[in-house]
Chain A
């Protein structure tokens, strides 16, 4: 017999500690052990263990059975009393249940959304071992974080470090024209990936083989949805898709549609070499262009590996300023902003919403506490009687806790209805498609029930302690008065509620003002009445199509000007480049945007030219001429940049012919306006058309007709420039919209609570009102007298809410280089809103009480 089995399982002791009684734990353990040892000899260790646990459970159950039968009888009585109480005080019960329903609904929705956010990329079987390599570029003045890394990195890492099992690069092709037979579509989500991509990530193939699907050149793996779109019910394997009228791809695999909780989204996968064929440099160590994912060998410590590979680029490129770091796959969605690595992470929004959800739930708890303590008098006799027949304080506490948990559960029972009602709004804000089935998750349900129980216990905790302290001798008197009125505490709680509402209102207003500001800010050009039309990226035929389209359109009176650009203005990014001027290199690497446009760009966007002139065909092709913005001029440090010759990067050298007013590149929410230089080049990817004021539909029809003539093989896809810019603020707008709804819910809960308290106050003062009326008080005077208390509370709440809201709002606004001021009227109007809401909820009750015939109110008992 081996040593460890000769002792009974350790967990037994633990179980007994949990469920058994303290008095004879030692004895029971001894008995169990003796039995166990006896069994060990007779029936072997396995069955001995089994019997050990059977006996142990016997002990626990037998003991609790006795007390449980008692408890369950009492519990039943508690529920009966609670439901009687609720039936007698229907209004207050409604306020409690409604408040908790709203609070729990808000929490459920937020929890559901959070679960979705935290589930990102966890469906990959190898998720714990997959990391994305990011880079930190060290510049003299700053460090810039990026998630794209040089093309050769993936291969080099795998070759140099045996800890890495697999590696794969991912790059986007950008918008492309895909043709199958006579179907032509623009496809935006085409990923260029290394063959190992499908083996690393869990995107299950329905057709084809993971190892082989992307091995050959010009192969493509499509998603189920894409396959259905192009091939209908035909077998997709072996079909040929054409990209940009240049390459033919053979379908070698079909994967399931990408789940909503994947940070990598795609409709098609093509081999990574395509990137090179589309004109990108994939073998340079100083050009970061691809996402690099690595899969670690099992048992490798990622931190150690991160330290090892931090300087990996240096072994291949001596002059590099790149330091590498690792980011776990499951953290990418919440902790890494691909477009703007320095901007706040998504996880902050998740945390904010979670906290707001808890606050709202807390407000519902406050309602329960306030009403329970306010109505304490109605329970005096009951508590007194219970105590007389032998209930101790613990019993009363248990009674009220089970009552509040019951109310919380009733609130929870109502919330599916409300959730169903609110889901469309939530889906619109979150950009997801949640259904009630999103709750079919044991952990989520567990969390919701746990929070409901906690809510019930929290809501009931204070009333339970407060009510259980009643002395039976006093409670049973003919006209019992609660020993402690709890007025001050109720006022404090109401002030807390109001403060939360106020802060939420102020923050919401600030967010909406900021959005409004961003949308309406003068961008430095006129974004309205401009249509943007994408061409296939870097198509050789783009210049030809553009020229013919332009000459077609310029004949129409509905079109003012036509122009083109290499990048869309919403995506005018900046890249750090050397600027050499007068043979002297500027001291620091400046992020400069160098973009090619065609004639009339400045006129189409109506950018103001301050010095010099705009591009014009009068001056020939203008090759080698530049137009820069004011910021660029500032960087050069000259009084006037006109006629200066500057070189940008290694390739571009030109003479400045004009200076234009600064206009916003990218979103206004992004960075400050950076230096920009425009030059003329016929290779463009976007066409911009300024419409004449008037009939937009007619103008669009003109364009559609012309498009059919000049590019019948390309789809006519267009958008309005102001909408393109508006789309950039979606995230902020969603934040604002989400907060708006939560603010409304919070406000509603606060109003419910005040309604309850006001009706309680009105009832309590019935006699006093009667006396006052007889003595000659007017109705308006009474309203002032009774409502004044609530007004005072609002004022106090403002006192607490304003500094907090100012601090939060100020902090949030800091992330915008262009922002609104926190003006006083925002605070004042929020205070006013709360005041009006308070008066409206309160005054009806008071008015009702004040207008009652004093004869009646004096009889009131």
Chain B
């Protein structure tokens, strides 16, 4: 799983039922601290759907989208499992390490 897929999957989990492209986009941008292109969200989303980590469902037409439908994403059990695994890997990988001094802290 790529980094961007990881972020997107995490964002969907965090948004809990209100995950659609724009909310995912702002969530991911917030977390990473820089602006993401729409296209950069579509690609990992599509891959995750294809890997059956995410389920895509269509809501009814909404006014704020000019009468177009919203596409909502939610985690599948497989997605949950993947997320847990990532978490586990991260935790084990980072476990027991002393804090890495960051440059800004170092200079302070």
Chain A contact residues, CB within 8 Å of chain B: 7-8, 23-24, 26-35, 37, 55, 58-63, 66
Contact B39 A34 (CB under 8 A): no
Contact of B70 with A by CB under 8 A: yes
Could you tell me the distance between the alpha carbons of A61 and B42 in the complex, rounded to whole angstroms?
12
Contact B39 A30 (CB under 8 A): no
> What are the residues of chain A within 8 A of B65 when measuring CB–CB?
30-31, 33-34, 37
Contact B22 A35 (CB under 8 A): yes
Could you tell me the distance between the alpha carbons of A8 and B71 in the complex, rounded to whole angstroms?
19
Could you tell me the distance between the alpha carbons of A474 and B38 in the complex, rounded to whole angstroms?
47
> What are the residues of chain B within 8 A of A58 when measuring CB–CB?
37-39
What are 7 pairs between A and B in contact, CB < 8 Å? A7-B66, A8-B66, A24-B42, A30-B70, A35-B22, A55-B37, A59-B42
Contact of B89 with A by CB under 8 A: no
Contact B66 A33 (CB under 8 A): yes
Closest 10 CB pairs of A and B: A62-B39, A30-B68, A59-B39, A30-B65, A33-B66, A58-B37, A27-B71, A34-B65, A31-B21, A33-B65
Contact of B46 with A by CB under 8 A: yes
B106 to chain A, nearest CB (A): 36
Contact A26 B68 (CB under 8 A): yes
Contact B37 A62 (CB under 8 A): yes
Contact A62 B70 (CB under 8 A): no
Could you tell me the distance between the alpha carbons of A28 and B68 in the complex, rounded to whole angstroms?
10
Interface centre among B64, B66, B71 (most CB of A within 10 A): B66
A696 to chain B, nearest CB (A): 84
Chain B contact residues, CB within 8 Å of chain A: 21-22, 37-40, 42-43, 46, 64-66, 68-71
Give the dominant DSSP class at A's interface: helix
Known: A23-B46, A62-B43, A66-B43. A30 touches B69 (CB 8 A): yes
Known: A26-B68, A37-B64, A37-B66. A31 touches B38 (CB 8 A): yes
Contact A55 B64 (CB under 8 A): no
Cross-chain pair count, CB within 8 angstroms? 58
A26 to chain B, nearest CB (A): 7
Which listed residue, B21, B37, B43, touches A27 by the CB 8 Å rule?
B21
Contact A26 B46 (CB under 8 A): no
Could you tell me the distance between the alpha carbons of A23 and B45 in the complex, rounded to whole angstroms?
12
Interface centre among A8, A34, A61, A66 (most CB of B within 10 A): A34
> What are the residues of chain A within 8 A of B70 when measuring CB–CB?
30
Could you tell me the distance between the alpha carbons of A37 and B66 in the complex, rounded to whole angstroms?
9
B5 to chain A, nearest CB (A): 14
17 new A-B contacts, CB < 8 A, other than A26-B69, A32-B38, A37-B64, are: A7-B66, A23-B46, A24-B42, A24-B46, A26-B71, A28-B38, A28-B42, A33-B65, A33-B66, A33-B68, A34-B22, A34-B66, A37-B66, A59-B37, A59-B38, A60-B39, A62-B42
> What are the residues of chain B within 8 A of A28 when measuring CB–CB?
38, 42
Could you tell me the distance between the alpha carbons of A28 and B65 in the complex, rounded to whole angstroms?
11
> What are the residues of chain B within 8 A of A62 when measuring CB–CB?
37-40, 42-43
> What are the residues of chain A within 8 A of B38 when measuring CB–CB?
28, 31-32, 55, 58-59, 62
Known: A31-B21, A55-B38, A58-B38. A63 touches B68 (CB 8 A): no
B56 to chain A, nearest CB (A): 9
Contact A31 B40 (CB under 8 A): no
Could you tell me the distance between the alpha carbons of A37 and B63 in the complex, rounded to whole angstroms?
10
> What are the residues of chain B within 8 A of A24 when measuring CB–CB?
42, 46, 71
> What are the residues of chain A within 8 A of B69 when measuring CB–CB?
26, 30
> What are the residues of chain B within 8 A of A31 when measuring CB–CB?
21-22, 38, 65
Could you tell me the distance between the alpha carbons of A8 and B67 in the complex, rounded to whole angstroms?
12
Contact B71 A34 (CB under 8 A): no
Residue ID in chain B nearest A36 by CB atoms? B66
Residue ID in chain A nearest B63 by CB atoms? A37
Could you tell me the distance between the alpha carbons of A58 and B36 in the complex, rounded to whole angstroms?
10
Known: A37-B64, A37-B66. A63 touches B22 (CB 8 A): no
A531 to chain B, nearest CB (A): 83
Interface centre among A27, A59, A62 (most CB of B within 10 A): A27
Residue ID in chain A nearest B70 by CB atoms? A30
Contact B71 A63 (CB under 8 A): no
Could you tell me the distance between the alpha carbons of A62 and B44 in the complex, rounded to whole angstroms?
12
Could you tell me the distance between the alpha carbons of A62 and B38 in the complex, rounded to whole angstroms?
9
B23 to chain A, nearest CB (A): 10
Residue ID in chain A nearest B64 by CB atoms? A34
A319 to chain B, nearest CB (A): 72
Could you tell me the distance between the alpha carbons of A7 and B37 in the complex, rounded to whole angstroms?
22
